[in-house]
Structure formats: C-alpha cells, structure tokens
Structure 1
Amino acid sequence: MTTIGSALRSGNWLTAARIRSYSWLLLAFTAAAVAGWIALSDRLIDRNGKPIGTDFSNVYAAGVLTLHGKAGDAYDPPLQHAMEKAVFDGRDVPFFGWHYPPFFFAIAAVTALLPYAGGLALWVVSSLLAYLAVMRAILPRSETLLVAAAFPAVFVNIGHGQNAFFTAALLGGALLMMERGKPWIAGVLIGLLAYKPQFGVLIPIALLASGRWPTIAAAGLTVAALIAISFAVLGTDVWHAFFQSMTFTQTVVLEQGGTGWEKIQSVFSAARHWGADVRTAYALQTLLALSLAGGLAWLWQSEAAFDLKASALASASLLATPYVLDYDLVVLAVAIIFFVRHGLADGFRDYELSVLAAAWIVPLLSRSVAGLTTIPLGLIVLMGLFTLTLRRALADRASEIDGHARVAQA
C-alpha cells in the first residue's frame, strides 16, 4: 500500500511510454468499436434499434424541418419525432429531442443538405478536427494529437453524434485568444457558445473578475447578432416555440431523469439518483455553483498563471450546470491540457499527475459506475480537479512569496 500511495503521490507511474501506449490502445478500441457498430447496422439503424449517431438524428431532422420552412416544429416532440422517423423511411426510431436556441438551426440545416450519412460525417469530422486543432494550438507537442484523439470522451461523443467537440473547440479557442491578446476574437467565440447556454453560466464571472471588457462586449454583440439574424430569417414564432419547449426540457429531460441519471454528471443528477426531491437537488446545485463562482472570481482577479485560470474555468463550467452529459466531458480536455501545460513548464506537485490521469480516463467509466453503484465518478473527479487547480494556484503563490522573502533577506 505504501508503494502504491507513493506512486500516486509522485505520479511517477505515468511515464511518457505508458501515456503513448494507453492512448494507442484506446484509439484502436474506439476505431474498432465505431467501425463494428456501423458494419453491424441495418441501413444506419444499429442493433438496438437506434440511428447511427443517435442524438444527431434530432439535429438532422431539425435541419430538414428548417429547409422546409417549419423550423418551429422541431420544438414540438410529436412533430420532431415524426420527422426523425421520416428520415429513416418511416422506421420506428426512438425520439431524440431538439433543445437548442433557434440560431443553431443554421448548423442543422447545413447537415440536412446532404444525405443522413453524409451529414453525420460532416458533423463529426468537422467538429473533431476543430477540437484537435485547438488542443494542438494550446499545447504544441508531438503527442498532443494522439492523447487528445484517444481521450475517452471523444469515443462517447462520436457514439452519440453529439456536439461536444464544438463546445470544447469554442471554449478552448476563446481561452487561447485571451492569452494571445486577441480579446475580440475570444469574445466572438464565447458568444457562439450560446448554443449551449448552460455552459456559459460562470464565464461572465471570470471575465468580470479580470476586467476583460472588450471580450465581454464582443460576446454580447455576437449573441445579439445571432438572435437578430434568427429573428430576421426564421421569424418570431420560432422563439416562442423555443421558450415553450423549455418546460418540457426542464421537467421531463432533467428533473424526471428522462435522459438517465447515470448519464448526467452533475450534483443535481447525483442527488436525484440518491432519492432527493427536486428542490433539494436544485439547492445543492446552487450551493455548488456559488462556491465555484467564488473560487473563480478569486482566481481570475489574482496573479495566478493563466493556465490555471483557464483550467479552472473549463472544469467549473461543467460543474455549474445541472445538465451535463458524459459526452460533454470532451470539455474536460480543455481543463486537462491547460493544467498539463502549466505542469510541464513549472513542474507537477503531489497527486497532480494522478488526478489528471483520473480525469482523462473517467469518461470511459462514469456512466457504467453510476449505473451499477450510483457513485457519480465523473462528478467526483471534476470536483477533485477544480479543487486541485485552486490548490496549485495557492501553492504557486506561496512559493513566489517565499522566493521574494529569501531574495530580500539575501
């Protein structure tokens, strides 16, 4: 036990050779699983009766409705489901709801210009390339692309045909632009993140704490432009339909666990999974969000390294929302890579490498572990990484003060 504890503390077990080996193994597994799943499908319907790309079917159906001038129907579950069935020649596929703001219809419509398989390929490949490009730009090392591609959340996201690659690319890109002194571009990227508004709750806290006014302005103008364009192209009724649909999304999908408690990686979901009522679950989620906001406000107004600020914002953005699925953990790659970059430059402290390794592997395990044991492993690791980031910022500050004191004494 002492040997294991020492290895976890030092992180020496995580050698460069092991990182490459684990990454190649997981990447090979992902490629084989995806190829096998497609090969065993029947006209793009898998062995479980679900469309290949599952959740993408709602994007494609919404895109078809948009091209037919019926975008608002996507917010009506029976009409949306009817179109999803029509996409697959009337076969009885499961319902996958459309929950995005109206300006996201533009992306859906682009995918619907192609046959379903082509639209899915465009959706997955373009977003995956954007994610990988941002990861490589943040940490320009030879192994970055391998480790980022093998990240287990990538497999989960591809399997669900989801949009977490876009989310990670936009958030990671925005943080990179801030660091490079391009606040307006950063603001535009943050504004584009409004298609997943639940992940933007804490971003204003960080921007306000650090006084990034041009970025705030650019983000606000981008959101305003998106809304104005959607009004001009789609009309006002579609926004009315969107706001009406939010009740269904909140009550059925979130509060009643229609998605599955084991899939959602939040305090809210964990509390509901353990039998708590809705009010208690919201209270716990609110308490966590307020704690995260306080930690971020302190960190972003401090002199801490930008890498730590970026890492904390990425992990906190996942923790703050009650509705975060395991495929959304692609965003966790942003938190990991900024922390790793800081560690490579300034050294790693006790347990940091082991916690980072746990964060990297957890998307592969979180759903199964929660389903079998009700233990929210993804949530625990996320909270651990955020806490570790704040601890590192405090430790760096203490080391800096101690260094200045020694210089003064000399």
Structure 2
Amino acid sequence: MTEDAPPAQALSAAFDGDLLTDYVPDALGAVDVRRLLCTGRPLEDPLHVGHLRVPLARRLEVVPVVSCAARARMLRLTEQALSAHVPRPEVFSYRSLDWRYRPAYQERQHHLRALAARGGLPLVLVLDVHRFGRSLPLDVLCRTPWMTERLAEALTALYSAAGRALLPGHRWANRLATAVLAPLDDAVASLAPGRWTRWGDDLHVFVRDHAEADDIRAAAAAVLRRLGLRLSAEKSTVTGAASVLTRSARVIRGRAQDVWRSGLSDGDVQALRYALPRTPPDDTVSRTLVGAVRDHPGLLPRAVHYLDRAAHSPAARAAAEDLLLTAEPDAFAAARLLPLAARHPGLVPAVPDALLAVAEESEVGPLRELAFRVAVSGGRRHTWPPTPRMRGRLAQGAELARDLPDVNTLL
C-alpha cells in the first residue's frame, strides 16, 4: 500500500463534502483547515471527543464529535490507505476521493428501479448489518489488506477516546465502512451476479424466490461472522421487488414549494427534507417552518439552511427569531442555530442566554467556539476563554465578517 499524499485539491474538495454531514458547523468555516489540506502541512490537533444527542428519524442517538482538524487528518490518512481500493460497481456509497453524494444516490435509485423492473425477480432481499458503525471490531478493521500503520494508529487512538473506530457522518469513516465490507460484496456477487446493490451497510438483492433469498442471507451471515458482525434481525427482510419504488428508490418530483405543502399535509418527512434545500424564499414555507421543525426535530439542519438563504424576507426573519426563542436549549439546537446567528448578526439579540450557555458549557469544543464567536459578535457576555484558534482570528471586530460558519448540509 502506498502512503503517498492524495492530490491536495481533490482532498480539499472531499473535505468540503465531509463538512456537509458535520453535526457541529465549524465556527470559522474550516478555512484554516482547508489551507493546511491544500498545502500538505500537518494536521496535528489534540484529539478530544465530545458527544451530542441528535434526533434521527425514529430515535435520539448520541454521536461523537471531533474538531475539523481531526476530521481532515483522518480523511487524509484514509485516502492514502484506500488509494488502490476499487469497490465493485454495484456499490454506490463512498467509492472514491472524488465521489459525490447526490449523483451517487440518484444513480443508485436508477439502478434499483431498473432491477425492480426486470422479469423473473419478484422479490428483494434487504440486508442490513446490526449497528455496523458501533459494532465493527477495531482489530478486524486494522487487519484489512489496505490498512496502513499510520491509519491504524489513528484509529486505535480514536477508539480509545470514542469507544468506536468509525464516527457517524464522517466521509472518511464511510469510505472505510464501504471498503471493509468488500468480502460481503464478493459473496453476494457470486450468488446473485448483476442483481444487487449496496449503500453503506444496506444491501438489496433481487431474487427468484424465498429459497434463493435464504441461501444468500446465510452466505452473508457467514461472511459477517468472520468480520465480527451480524445481520439486523429487524431490518433484514424479504419483500416484493416493487417495494423499492416507494422506499430506497423513491423519486420525489415537482416544484419544491408544492412538495413542501404536500409533505406537510401527509406528514412526509422525506418530502420535507427534499423540499427545504430546493425551495426559494417562500412566505408559506417560512410561516409553516417552525411548526414542521417542532413536529420533526431532525429537520432543523435543513431548516437553518433554508432560513440562511431566505433571511432577507420578513417572514423568514420572523421564523428564524421564533426558532431561536422557542427552541429547546440543547446542544443540537445550539449547533444549528448559532451558525445562523453568526451569519446574520441581526439575529444575535434574539439568541437566548440559555442557548448560549448550553453551548459554552458543552464538552464539544467546536460548539464552544461557535458560542464564543456569536457572543463576541453581539457584545454578549461569554464565560469561556477563546481557544488559540479563535483568539487569533477574532481579536479584531473587523475579522468577524470573514470566514463565516457554513450551514449547507446533507443532514
């Protein structure tokens, strides 16, 4: 395996994609980290892991959070290790350094729809690995054929600090997760050539009957046992092939504002998630946004993305202030709303003291940096001293207009 550095510009572009799934946006837009990536300079940063409670579709989950520099260092080490690894073409997730989320997701949708339309394959076997990111043994990951000594050392340190080797929402972790399941791909490809897809640890295998599904499930389970993993009993199922058209291969179409309205009436969170990043400033969307976020807290990141674009609108400004004033004062809300206030200083007076306090007192370093930035920009009291990074950038008031947090998101 080579440990040559990946192309700097491609690595920086991949890091931009990584930040779209960052649970705590960087207070400085990660501009300094991008510069280090582009120049190939060291990304040494003391590893500190904080934890954030995040509302997902059906549950709350506690996710580990590290600094931007730590993310970037892991990305660089991962791409060095995987420089020669090429997944099978049926694998659509996190394939390469220049992989992009939305085109890959759409390509997978197209492939699933084509398989569902094939004759003689009336069933689809859905396979899901039980708690894959949390369950993958560190020693299994470190014994993969493409592993490098430096990456193994970094993963071991991360495991000691976070209790897991793969962090949710990190591009580098998804790259490793995609690669480590290559033996599973080989087994499925030998039994159902050209009739399957994988995204992350989710497989769809189109089969002729239940007997074939049972054979493939057994083979997959055997491979996973060798990797210290097992199938999810709840999520691994056999269903009609056409079911993918309303689930994984569902295509949402229409004018974004219309999709938003129908999503509200149907309680369709997928439609609401689709509409928010695509909707131009719209008074109806702005007036109904706060209620939608209260009903579905996981919409908050995309709601902030919408409000950032629509902030010049009186209705959107009112929605932003309402969200700030009524949001639960927890770390997840602070992680999304404080960047919005940093980008639009007129909102800073509406930031409740309780929301700033929960950020300032958090164990998550990037969240404390956000709180410091917002407090300083609005002349608010702050209790935590600035980090060296923030001290250097925010020493003068003129600096506050530069290097804003980024609220673009795939969350």
TM superposition score category, shorter chain reference: under 0.3
Q: Which has the higher contact order (CA 8 A, sep 6+)?
A: 2
Q: TM-score, normalised by structure 1?
A: 0.25
Normalized per residue, the structure richer in strand is: 2
Q: TM-score, normalised by structure 2?
A: 0.25
